[in-house]
Amino acid sequence: MNKTALNLIAISVFLMTMSVLLGPAINLPPAVPAIAVLTLLGIATLDSFRFEGKGGTLVLGLLANLSPEHRDRVVRHEAGHFLVAYLLEIPITGYTLSPWEAFQQGKPGVGGVSFSDAELASQLEEGKLSAQLFDRYCAVWMAGGVGETLVYGNAEGGADDLQKLRSIWTEQLGRTLKECATKERSAALQARTLIKQNWSAYEALVAAMAERNSVSYCYDIIKQNG
């Protein structure tokens, strides 16, 4: 069972527990939490076997998006990816800031910045990945978590970014996860340096992306504040 379905089940257990504890105090009919829990469990089961976790991801994304801090974390995370990709000359093709936006654009996953990675894919297919190109992408993948950490002191997102880096490192390059930790730290340091050196552009980009401005508009904002 995927992580999203497990999250829905965890929410169901929490709701049932709270209803048992608080239901009598607020005169909550027993049928209400029971129906809610059964509904969530049904969604989790259907989503896991029929929709490969996409439905649950949408539900959890909509719930998380109710938090102003979460919304700010997301845009700062994606702005980190966007800015570092721009500075390292990796073309950006688009971005989304929620699972729902990604779904509307016909994209899988929870959203994020999309890159033109034809050169990376070509080199991986040929088995001739250049160290320079890989280093650039590593910095971009780590930049989202760095953007969050610079403001909030920690990162809640970035698991998928780390998975991309580690997958190439271990499966394509045949290196160990222990060695990968060093690569992650150096890439994060590079991303951190680039964001801090271009902080005005980063803050302007965060504001532009929060307003869902176009990629070309965001490019101009970076240039104007660089």
Cα–chain center distance at 23:
36
Which of 21, 46, 64 is a domain's end point? 64
Cβ contacts of 98 within 8 Å, gap of 6 or more: 61, 62, 65, 74, 110, 111
> Same structural domain for residues 46 and 73?
no
**How do residues 168-211 score in pLDDT, each as one tens digit?**
999 888 899 888 999 999 999 999 999 999 999 999 999 999 99
Please state the domain count of the chain.
Answer: 2
Of the three residues 19, 35, 64, the one that is the final residue of a domain is 64
Answer yes or no: do 85 and 174 share one domain. yes
How many whole angstroms separate alpha carbon 86 and alpha carbon 143?
Answer: 12
DSSP readout, 134-175?
Answer: HHHHHHHHHHHHHHHHHHHSS-S--HHHHHHHHHIIIIIS--
15 and 93 together in one domain: no
User: By the 8 A CB rule, do 37 and 12 touch?
Assistant: yes
- Claim to verify: residue 92 and residue 152 sit in the same structural domain: yes
Terminal-residue alpha carbon distance, the chain? 46
Residue 53's φ and ψ, nearest 5 degrees, are: 90, -5
Residue 28 domain boundaries? 3-64
Residues 49 and 84 in one domain: no
List pLDDT tens digits, range 80-129.
Answer: 999 999 999 999 999 998 877 766 666 666 678 999 888 999 999 888 89
pLDDT tens figures, 34-82: 555 555 555 445 444 444 444 444 454 455 556 788 889 999 999 999 9
Query: Residue 216 maps to which CATH number?
Result: 1.20.58.760
Residue 33 CB neighbours (<10 A) = 19
Query: Which residue among 64, 97, 113 closes a domain?
Result: 64
